[in-house]
Structure 1
Amino acid sequence: MEAFEPFLTPGVTGIAVAVLVALSIGGVIYALFQPLLSGNRRRDKRLSGIAARPQSAELRKKVGDGDRRRKSVQDQLKDFEDRQKAKLQKQNKASLAVRLEQAGLAWERKHFIYLSIASAVVGALIGLIVSHNILIALGVGFVGGFGFPRWFVNFKRKRRFNAFLDELPNAVDIIVRGVKAGLPLGDCIKIVAKEAREPVAGEFRKIVETQVMGISLTDAVGRMPDRVPLAEANFFAIVVAIQQKAGGGLSEALGNLSKVLRSRKALQRKIKALSAEAKSSAAIIGSLPFVVSTIIYVVAPDYISMLFTRTAGHLIIAGGLFWMFVGIMVMRKMINFDF
């Protein structure tokens, strides 16, 4: 050791340590990437793919036909979904006549205008009788003329859509049983048009009437989401369109669709049950300021009248209403779920 002491200077020791570290790192890198560098992994992957490939020509032909058919169905489904999305986007900006039809109201535009005028007059009279203030009466009349008729149409429209969702799975089950019994799809739709409850029966009657006019079954069913802009109606139209173009077991496809529709309905009810407590809390919190203000006005009107007689009180009321509106919108966003 004494003979090597002249060579064990700090510089030589540092170089030796650096060389050893470099060799160690190189060994670790080689051990990690050796399979990739040698090509063994690519070889094993290629051999596994060859082993999994069907051996006979008949099996390879079946697999190829299945792949081509699956790709064709996927392309048709994507094209149909794109067209249906475009239609649904138009439905979001539907005209008044379309919304009246979707609500199940046999009204014309003039009937809606008559209702708006009557609501405005009644609202103005009620506001004038209660407040004896012409500005308040005009405000109530404005709300009655422009708000109440639209709320009524939207209420009827939503209730009709809910009734449609409740009955559609039963209609699909009728079609499934008819197809399994050997009936054509058109005859099964006629049975639904006669036996189902409204509004499903009415929508399927329109499909039958459209076919009588010479339009194909696929196009006739494809028009149903225009009248009932719901995802469930769109699902039914897609299944029928794919089956008519690509073939396949219609009863199995519609049976799966019926299960999906019932599962969506069950999920919707579960969401309503879970969010009921939050909605109740939001309603109580939102109504509490108005209830307390009314009680104070009855018990001590002089105490709260400053809010209505002074400019500072008006500003306080405006600020409070603004922040209440913000809070209500936030709570509404938190307890409303899309599914």
Structure 2
Amino acid sequence: MLEQLGALGPQALLLALMVAVVAAIIIVTIIMALGAPRARLKKRIAAVAGHGPILAVDPTTAGNAKKLQGSKRKVAEKLKEAEQEGKKRRGAMLQQALIHAGLTMQPRKFIIISLISGLVLTALVWASGMPSIFLLAAAPIGAFGIPKLVLNFLVKRRLGKFTANFADAIDVIVRGVRSGLTVGECLAIVSREIPAPVGSEFALVNEGTRLGMTTSEVLQRLSDRVPTPEVRFFAIVLTTQQSTGGNLAETLAKLSDVLRQRKKMKDKVQALSSEAKASAAIIGSLPFIMMAGMSFSQPHMLMLLFTHPTGHMLLGVGATMMVIGMLVMRQMINFDF
């Protein structure tokens, strides 16, 4: 058997590997199709009930501290706990990342799509006649790099849209509370009037409340599905207010003002760093522009990079230096809030 495999060329071995991967994908797809009804039911229950620890607020205070100071201390403690729990869960599971991106697919389906992406990119590189060294890079880039970049882009876009409309949702709740409506009725109005993803997330909050979950539970599930500081602030303020009492409308109004100030500061930072980002994009694209130009003017000189071993080494060194440079520039011009 080993002698027969050794007699096969590298192209035949690659073709056999591609056939095996396609067969595995077909088998997994059939299994997914057979278990689709139960999977949809579990997914719906998970969307409403969520998972993870419950965000609870201890109603007792230590000593004879004043009520206001005790409330502030509780908010700070719960904010720290929520931050620690978010760091443990964030990015640890593929299922969480898919939920953050607003995708309804199961993790195994995403894995199958990633494998198909890697297989397609490998086949394209093989069909183009590039050296075998590029095949080693094409498979992991297509299976892990590209799907991860797409997923991160979807997560960032959805969380950005949620944050952009979240302050308006809080203003709706403030006006509803001041007019005499309950918090549940205000949340129902938000789910109907505010566009997605804010409206759809608050609809899940209302659905969980109707199923008998407490406010702390549904807010914790909301914080798990939308892991942003703004949502954690909202969940902690609301649960703390229910425990200690106070003017909810005034508290949420101050929270809305804080969120708008955060957004204004973030927009200002983005505007100030836009010049550096444009410079980084231009510098990063120059090598590819030069290669495209040389492919028309001096193609025989450019092909030495792809046909000669020294050219392969130079391409590898150049790609490594470009990646390091782009990562350094990205860390310099990106700011977290």
1:140 maps to which residue? 138
Paired residue for 2:268, among 256, 270, 280? Answer: 270
Q: CA deviation at 1:162?
A: 1.2
Q: Which has the larger radius of gyration?
A: 1
- The alignment partner of 2:104 has SS state of coil
**Is the CA contact 1:91–1:229 (under 8 Å) kept in the aligned structure 2?**
no
- Greater RCO (Cα-Cα under 8 Å, separation 6 or more): 2
Letter in 1 for 2:330: R
Q: CA deviation at 1:92?
A: 2.3
**Is the CA contact 2:79–2:233 (under 8 Å) kept in the aligned structure 1?**
no
2:278 maps to which residue? 280
1:196 maps to which residue? 194
1:250 maps to which residue? 248
1:150 maps to which residue? 148
Return 5+ residue gaps in structure 1 as ranges.
1-65
Q: Which stretch shifts more, 154-163 or 302-311? A: 302-311
TM-score by length of 1: 0.74
1:115 maps to which residue? 113
Q: How does 1:225-244 map to 2 (within 5 A)?
A: 225-244=223-242
Find the aligned partners of 1:128 and 1:114 in 2 and give their Cα distance.
21
Q: CA deviation at 1:234?
A: 0.7
Letter in 1 for 2:204: K
Q: Deviations over 1:304-327 (max 9, x none)?
A: 444445554444433333332332
Paired residue for 1:261, among 235, 241, 259? Answer: 259
Q: CA deviation at 1:87?
A: 1.8
- For residues 150 and 319 of structure 1, do their structure 2 counterparts lie closer, same or farther at Cα, with a shift above 3 Å needed? closer
Paired residue for 1:69, among 62, 67, 87? Answer: 67
Q: Which stretch shifts more, 168-177 or 267-276? A: 267-276
**Is the CA contact 1:87–1:226 (under 8 Å) kept in the aligned structure 2?**
no
Q: CA deviation at 1:129?
A: 3.2
Q: CA deviation at 1:224?
A: 1.5
- For residues 113 and 322 of structure 1, do their structure 2 counterparts lie closer, same or farther at Cα, with a shift above 3 Å needed? closer
- The alignment partner of 2:66 has SS state of helix
Q: CA deviation at 1:175?
A: 0.3
Q: How does 1:31-42 map to 2 (within 5 A)?
A: none
- For residues 323 and 150 of structure 1, do their structure 2 counterparts lie closer, same or farther at Cα, with a shift above 3 Å needed? closer
Q: How does 1:1-339 map to 2 (within 5 A)?
A: 68-131=66-129, 133=131, 135-137=133-135, 139-339=137-337
Q: CA deviation at 1:132?
A: 5.3
* Count of residues in Structure 1 that have an aligned counterpart in Structure 2: 275
Q: CA deviation at 1:294?
A: 3.4
Letter in 1 for 2:164: D
Return 5+ residue gaps in structure 2 as ranges.
1-63
